[in-house]
Homo-oligomer: A and B are copies of this chain.
Amino acid sequence: MFTFAKNRMNIQSMDKREKILQTVMEEIAQEGVNGSPMSQIAKKSGVATGTIYHHFKSKEEIINEIFSTIRKKLKGVIDTVKAKKPAFKEEFEQVWLGFYHHFVAHPLEFKFMQQVDNTPIITEQTYLESGQYLLPVFEFYQKGIEEGLLEDRDVTVLGYLTYDNIMTMVNLKLQGLDITDTLLQQALDYCWSGLIKKQT
């Protein structure tokens, strides 16, 4: 009854917009930025080329929007875990595994990120804005250090190290490696061991 369609857009129009975003994500994940001409995007989206340019300013704009959306989904993973108010270590593990499983369940999102991250296509602004979604990760480490649970290390560094460790595991999994529960636990242990305060 009450839809939240953007501005004056009707549902059908919204559908096209979404279809385009979805198609661009899939195509770029599979074919790379270059292997995904707008003409092909149009065809697979079932719209005309011109229609794409009614909804978006440029190819880059679409890519940036998708990039943000994917990062936002990670924020969703964090929120879901935090809602259960788990203990510190459990929160770490659940977020870690949540990120991992999100990308394994949505491999095209991972591959999309791989294709466009660290590329001039993603603007500084997009990095800054979407970076907000990952702030809770750094805050989590900050809290852990303050509470004496974690070694006192730079939270930015810790944040990136652990995040990239998860991505490493996703990548190995998508490369075809058989990432068993045991292997996954080993990777998780590696990270946790790297974080926690050593008993003295």
Chain A residues with a Cβ under 8 A of chain B: 32-35, 114-115, 118-120, 151, 153-154, 156-158, 160-161, 164-165, 167-169, 171-172, 177, 183, 186-187, 189-191, 193-195, 198
Task: List the B side residues contacting A119 at CB < 8 Å.
Answer: 32
**Are A35 and B157 neighbours in the complex by a CB distance under 8 Å?**
no
Task: With CB as the reference atom, state the residue of chain B lying closest to A177.
Answer: B156
With A154-B183, A157-B169, A183-B154 known as contacts, the answer to whether A198 contacts B193 (CB < 8 A) is yes
Across the interface, A160 reaches (CB within 8 A) one of B160, B161, B168, B189, namely B168
- In the assembled complex, how far is the CB of residue A191 from the closest CB belonging to chain B, in whole angstroms? 7
A-B contact list, 30 entries, CB within 8 Å: A32-B119, A32-B120, A34-B34, A35-B120, A118-B171, A151-B186, A151-B189, A153-B186, A154-B183, A154-B186, A156-B172, A157-B169, A157-B172, A157-B183, A157-B190, A158-B190, A160-B168, A160-B171, A160-B172, A161-B168, A161-B190, A164-B164, A164-B167, A164-B168, A165-B165, A189-B194, A190-B194, A190-B195, A193-B193, A194-B194
Task: List the B side residues contacting A167 at CB < 8 Å.
Answer: 164
Task: List the B side residues contacting A33 at CB < 8 Å.
Answer: 34
